[in-house]
């Protein structure tokens, strides 16, 4: 069997069979005689990687067993002639080398890569990936060291960052800077933090001269007497050094915008020029603190990084992104030649298969790019291949570092054939596809404010009308409003969730046995939805990844552990005395004595056995969900990675931070939209459509050049001050908003395309028509244009 391996880029819309395409390419290569250990196939999650391997093995097993399946697979792969025996040989080859098969996440590949050259990368001896709670503990310790070692310098930087207003503690200010900018600091050059350009300030003499000339101008003949009085007010603001008001209102604001009209008059040219000089000085005065704060934040993060990295070198605990950044630095410096890495990995990568590439981060791409370049530059007689599949319309992980622009640039970067567009759904009914087309083909009619238009336009350019191979499949789509919004916001949300829960109950009763996916945007809304579904008598599988601490039974055990660490913790003791465990405390004596006994048992038995013992004493008082949560707690206790520390307080913090879904066999599954990526449901419910298109503003904005390198980092500025920047630097802020709008639309697209047969969307009843920058505006303007969102009203429907 022979076929030509090619370099391929596939843009696969939702439900069009991208996994099928990737597994076909893998099978094609192995059938060509390629050794499995020379192929690297990566995807975004470990679950998806497992599904890819399963799909490969099952397809081969079916073809090896059945002549009909063999002929079908051979046709799909473009191989001829084929027999079951042919695929039996391929299956045996993969199974014999299963331990060398490279199908996983990029992170797992990078862990193996870094493990083979830790010394050259400067990683600590015996390093390992640590839990997030351990990393947070290291960060707190690094912060304490920073405050102890550099109190004066930290104080100076704190004053700079807080603009001299001491609104919160130094520790809180640094924690915020670390949380918002440390990853950006690690992945950017020092020059980017000082790239904000400042105009030259006017000297005091120049200021005085310019003000005098402006004051002496006769503005009585400018067509509006208010021009002269406004000029006088502008001068007062300038002299009082109220530069922010100076640039925001009056004649200066018009000049800054390049406008000469003011009220019913015009600003004369000589006044316009004088204002431009004053604006130059105002720009300097207003941008200088921003530039200093940006540079000061980097100085602070540099000090913090030294302390944190020192601790990490000593403790050996790293996070995935730190390993990736070490590899990026080594790649850029040529610290470890490609031949050396290939030797230590016991084999070079000659065939690269990338899945879900739209969610790849820039640092991840920097590491894998040399492999891709080596494939591109392969000689004509060398069998190497590059295969990439993704969909920018499904790029929903920008908040986690994903850069969808990398995928868009691949067609320009590599000498490949034209990208292949897959738009025929193999999942959804015609009604669902009609609704998807109606929304995303008509974004031009959506009114979400001018500042969000660029994102809408950019997203809509990528959308191609979808089709489906299931034209006869039964389907239905419904957009309806919930209760009219007449109450307080919290009460209204509860009323909306209660209404949607009752509707889900009715939908479930009408379609017994069908899988129903309830997809929420936030964990908070998900928790409320679960509560309302249970109140409505709907059994639901909770897959949103809430923490174990959402259980009353788990909280009792956590109080037990808290008391073990803090004998004087009266709240924990009170909780235990008024819980179902109280009867087991009668012979325990005082809290201090009981706490001491718990610590001794932890030392001799460990967390797992002790938690199991107390969970068994509590289980009879629990319902099914609470028992499930207790079981998960026991499993977590046995898996606790820091059991040797024996600090029960650390265990409590670890549990409170640990996400743990509560799956069940129920037909109704509740999860976040991000968690539903890659899944499908007979019926999809979207109950939370009041989310904003653009979330909270970041602490810093990063500007990138055409090569996607970070060239500018600037502290966040509002629109009024942003216009003081050079146009190229203003573009960084515009690009940030554009990307957030695109990501928000992608999240909506992912949510809608999970449906096989039916899709139900619930928007809130009309409350505030001026609040347009939300998902429900997109849906109402495209599916129910001109209709008002009344109380529990049908707004649009497709299918039957």
How far is Cα 142 from Cα 645, in angstroms, rounded to an integer? 19
Per residue, what are the HEC states of 604-667?
Answer: HHCHHHHHHHHHHHHHHHCCHHHHHHHHHHHHHHHHCCCHHHCCHHHHHHHHHHCECCECCCCC
pLDDT on residue 5? 40
Q: Evaluate if residue 86 carries a pLDDT over 80.
A: yes
Q: What percent of the chain has pLDDT over 70?
A: 95
From the list 465, 272, 399, the residue with the least C-alpha distance to 698 is 399
Shared domain check, 530 and 595? no
Which 8-state DSSP code applies to residue 360?
-
Q: Is 179 exposed, middle or buried (0-12, 13-18, 19+ CB in 10 A)?
A: exposed
Q: Evaluate if residue 641 carries a pLDDT over 90.
A: no
How far is Cα 554 from Cα 566, in angstroms, rounded to an integer? 18
Question: Would you call 19 helix, strand, or coil by DSSP?
Answer: helix
How far is Cα 48 from Cα 235, in angstroms, rounded to an integer? 64
Whether the Cβ atoms of residue 448 and residue 738 lie closer than 8 Å to each other: no
How far from chain centre, in Å, is Cα 102?
26
Average confidence (pLDDT) over 730-749:
94
Residue 547 confidence class, pLDDT cut points 50, 70, 90: confident
Sheet harboring 8-12: ordered strands across? Answer: 102-105, 39-43, 351-354, 385-390, 8-12, 420-422
How far is Cα 639 from Cα 102, in angstroms, rounded to an integer? 27
Shared domain check, 110 and 252? no
Shared domain check, 490 and 569? no
Q: Evaluate if residue 164 carries a pLDDT over 60.
A: no
Does residue 110 have a cis peptide bond before it, meaning omega lies within 30 degrees of 0? no
Residue 381 confidence class, pLDDT cut points 50, 70, 90: low
- 189-206 confidence digits (pLDDT tens): 999 999 998 999 999 999
- Give, in order, the Cα–Cα distances in Å from 211 to each of 215, 242, 423, 541: 6, 15, 63, 70
Question: Would you call 574 helix, strand, or coil by DSSP?
Answer: helix
pLDDT on residue 487? 61
Q: Which residue has the tokens 């720009």?
A: 283
Maximum average pLDDT range among 5-9, 335-339, 581-585, 679-683: 679-683
pLDDT on residue 4? 40
pLDDT on residue 646? 73
Shared domain check, 498 and 578? no
From the list 17, 11, 6, the residue with the least C-alpha distance to 425 is 17
How far is Cα 688 from Cα 573, in angstroms, rounded to an integer? 39
For residue 230, what are the domain limits? 131-315
- Give, in order, the Cα–Cα distances in Å from 83 to each of 1, 73, 75, 215, 735: 10, 10, 11, 94, 54
Q: Say which CATH number the domain at 28 has.
A: 3.40.50.300
How far from chain centre, in Å, is Cα 488?
30
Q: pTM (2 decimals)? A: 0.90
Residue 769 confidence class, pLDDT cut points 50, 70, 90: low
Q: Evaluate if residue 735 carries a pLDDT over 90.
A: yes
Q: Which of 267, 287, 315 delimits the end of a domain?
A: 315
Q: Which of 290, 315, 340 delimits the end of a domain?
A: 315
pLDDT on residue 788? 80
Q: Which of 422, 450, 471 delimits the end of a domain?
A: 422
Whether the Cβ atoms of residue 501 and residue 641 lie closer than 8 Å to each other: no
- 717-732 confidence digits (pLDDT tens): 988 899 999 998 999 9
Q: Which residue has the tokens 């001896």?
A: 125
Q: To which H or E segment does residue 684 belong? A: strand 681-686
The answer to whether residue 124 is domain-embedded is no
- 236-293 confidence digits (pLDDT tens): 999 999 999 999 999 999 999 999 998 888 999 999 999 999 999 999 999 999 999 9
Whether the Cβ atoms of residue 447 and residue 772 lie closer than 8 Å to each other: yes
Sheet harboring 476-481: ordered strands across? Answer: 540-542, 668-672, 516-520, 681-686, 755-763, 476-481, 794-799
Q: To which H or E segment does residue 579 belong? A: none
How far is Cα 53 from Cα 31, in angstroms, rounded to an integer? 16
Shared domain check, 273 and 141? yes
From the list 175, 107, 177, the residue with the least C-alpha distance to 144 is 175
Residue spans of alpha helices (H) in 378-419: 404-413
From the list 79, 783, 273, 757, the residue with the least C-alpha distance to 473 is 757
The answer to whether residue 321 is domain-embedded is no
Shared domain check, 347 and 300? no
Shared domain check, 300 and 181? yes
Shared domain check, 160 and 68? no
From the list 685, 746, 760, 749, the residue with the least C-alpha distance to 529 is 685
The alpha-carbon radius of gyration of the chain (Å, integer) is 31
The answer to whether residue 465 is domain-embedded is yes
Maximum average pLDDT range among 44-48, 593-597, 746-750: 746-750
Shared domain check, 208 and 63? no
How far is Cα 493 from Cα 658, in angstroms, rounded to an integer? 27
Number of structural domains found in the chain = 4
Shared domain check, 229 and 109? no
How far is Cα 118 from Cα 106, in angstroms, rounded to an integer? 18
- 434-490 confidence digits (pLDDT tens): 999 999 999 988 887 767 888 899 999 999 999 999 999 999 999 999 988 766 667
The answer to whether residue 705 is domain-embedded is no
Q: How many CB atoms lie within 10 A of CB 534?
A: 15
Whether the Cβ atoms of residue 324 and residue 367 lie closer than 8 Å to each other: yes
The answer to whether residue 602 is domain-embedded is yes
From the list 482, 600, 649, 657, the residue with the least C-alpha distance to 130 is 657
The answer to whether residue 456 is domain-embedded is yes
- 338-374 confidence digits (pLDDT tens): 777 777 777 889 999 999 999 999 999 999 988 888 8
The answer to whether residue 158 is domain-embedded is yes
Whether the Cβ atoms of residue 546 and residue 660 lie closer than 8 Å to each other: yes
What tokens were used for 359?
A: 């969610």
Strand duo 476-481 + 794-799: pairing: antiparallel
Average pLDDT, the chain: 89
- Give, in order, the Cα–Cα distances in Å from 787 to each of 752, 766, 783, 790: 21, 11, 9, 9
Q: What is the DSSP string of 694-763?
A: S-PPPSEEEEE-TT--EEEEEE---HHHHTTS-HHHHHHHHHHHHHHHHHHHHHHHHHHTTEEEEEEEEE
Which 8-state DSSP code applies to residue 384?
-
How far is Cα 402 from Cα 358, in angstroms, rounded to an integer? 7
Average confidence (pLDDT) over 7-35:
93
Shared domain check, 241 and 360? no
The answer to whether residue 707 is domain-embedded is no
Which 8-state DSSP code applies to residue 687?
-
What tokens were used for 600?
A: 């001794």
Shared domain check, 302 and 336? no
Average confidence (pLDDT) over 604-613:
92
Give the list of residues 6+ apart from residue 344 with CB closer than 8 angstroms, or none.
116, 117
How far is Cα 556 from Cα 51, in angstroms, rounded to an integer? 38
């Amino acid at each position: 069997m022979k076929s030509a391996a090619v370099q391929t880029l596939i843009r696969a819309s939702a439900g069009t069979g991208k996994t099928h395409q990737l597994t076909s390419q893998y099978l094609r290569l192995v059938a060509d005689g390629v050794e499995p250990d020379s192929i690297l196939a990566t995807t975004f999650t470990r679950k998806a990687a497992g599904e890819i391997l399963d799909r490969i093995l099952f397809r081969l097993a079916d073809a090896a067993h059945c002549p009909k399946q063999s002929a079908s697979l051979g046709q799909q792969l473009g191989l001829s002639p084929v027999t079951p025996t042919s695929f039996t040989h391929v299956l045996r080859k993969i199974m014999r080398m299963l331990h060398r098969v490279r199908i996983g996440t990029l992170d797992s590949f990078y862990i193996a890569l870094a493990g083979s050259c830790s010394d050259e990368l400067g990683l600590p001896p015996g390093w390992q990936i640590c839990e997030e709670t351990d990393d947070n503990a290291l960060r707190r310790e690094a912060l304490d060291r920073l405050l102890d070692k550099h109190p004066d310098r930290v104080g100076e930087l704190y004053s700079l960052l807080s603009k001299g207003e001491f609104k919160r503690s130094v520790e809180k200010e640094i924690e915020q800077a670390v949380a918002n900018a440390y990853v950006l600091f690690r992945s950017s050059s020092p020059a980017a933090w000082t790239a904000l350009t400042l105009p030259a300030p006017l000297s005091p003499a120049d200021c005085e001269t310019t003000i005098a000339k402006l004051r002496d101008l006769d503005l009585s003949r400018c067509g509006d007497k208010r021009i002269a009085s406004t000029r006088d007010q502008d001068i007062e603001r300038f002299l009082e050094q109220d530069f922010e008001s100076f640039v925001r209102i009056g004649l200066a604001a018009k000049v800054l915008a390049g406008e000469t009209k003011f009220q019913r008059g015009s600003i004369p040219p000589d006044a316009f020029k004088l204002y431009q000089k004053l604006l130059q000085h105002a720009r300097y005065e207003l941008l200088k603190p921003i530039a200093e704060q940006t540079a000061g934040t980097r100085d602070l993060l540099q000090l913090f990084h030294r302390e944190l990295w020192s601790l990490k070198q000593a403790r050996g605990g790293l996070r995935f992104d730190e390993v990736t950044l070490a590899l990026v630095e080594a790649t850029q410096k040529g610290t470890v030649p490609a031949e050396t890495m290939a030797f230590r990995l016991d084999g070079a990568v000659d065939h690269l298969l990338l899945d879900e590439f739209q969610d790849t981060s820039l640092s991840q791409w920097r590491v894998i790019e040399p492999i891709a370049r080596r494939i591109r530059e392969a000689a004509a007689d060398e069998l190497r291949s590059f295969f990439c599949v993704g969909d920018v319309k499904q790029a929903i992980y920008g908040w986690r570092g994903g850069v969808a622009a990398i995928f868009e640039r691949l067609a320009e970067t590599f000498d490949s054939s034209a990208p292949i567009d897959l738009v025929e759904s193999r999942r959804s009914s015609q009604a669902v596809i009609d609704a998807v087309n109606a929304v995303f083909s008509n974004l031009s009619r959506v009114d979400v404010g001018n500042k969000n238009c660029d994102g809408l336009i950019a997203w809509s350019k990528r959308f191609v009308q979808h089709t489906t191979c299931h034209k006869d499949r039964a389907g239905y789509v419904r957009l309806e409003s919930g209760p009219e919004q007449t109450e307080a916001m919290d009460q209204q949300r509860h009323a909306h969730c209660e209404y949607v829960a009752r509707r889900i109950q009715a939908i479930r009763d009408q379609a017994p046995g069908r899988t129903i996916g309830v997809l929420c945007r936030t964990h908070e809304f998900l928790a409320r939805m679960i509560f309302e579904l249970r109140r409505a008598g709907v059994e639901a599988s909770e897959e949103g990844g809430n923490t174990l601490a959402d259980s009353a039974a788990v909280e009792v055990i956590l109080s037990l552990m808290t008391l073990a660490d803090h004998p004087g913790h009266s709240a924990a003791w009170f909780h235990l005395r008024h819980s179902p465990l109280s009867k087991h405390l009668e012979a325990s004596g005082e809290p201090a004595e009981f706490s001491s006994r718990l610590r001794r048992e932890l030392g001799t038995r460990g967390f797992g056995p002790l938690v199991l013992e107390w969970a068994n004493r509590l289980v009879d008082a629990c319902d099914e969900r609470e028992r499930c949560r207790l079981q998960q707690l026991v499993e977590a206790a046995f898996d606790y990675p820091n059991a040797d520390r024996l600090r029960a307080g650390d265990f409590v913090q670890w549990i409170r931070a640990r996400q743990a879904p509560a799956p069940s066999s129920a037909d109704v599954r509740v999860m976040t939209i991000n968690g539903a990526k890659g899944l499908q449901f007979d019926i999809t419910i979207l109950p939370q459509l009041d989310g904003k298109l653009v979330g909270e503003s970041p602490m810093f904005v990063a500007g990138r050049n055409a090569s996607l390198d970070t060239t500018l980092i600037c502290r966040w500025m509002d629109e009024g001050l942003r216009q003081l920047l050079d146009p190229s630097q203003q573009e960084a802020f515009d690009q940030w908003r554009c990307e957030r709008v695109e990501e928000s639309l992608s999240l909506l697209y992912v949510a809608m395309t999970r449906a096989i047969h039916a899709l139900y969307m619930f928007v809130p009843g009309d409350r505030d028509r001026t609040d347009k920058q939300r998902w429900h505006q997109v849906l109402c303007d495209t599916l129910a244009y001109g209709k008002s969102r009344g109380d529990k009203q049908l707004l649009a429907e497709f299918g039957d």
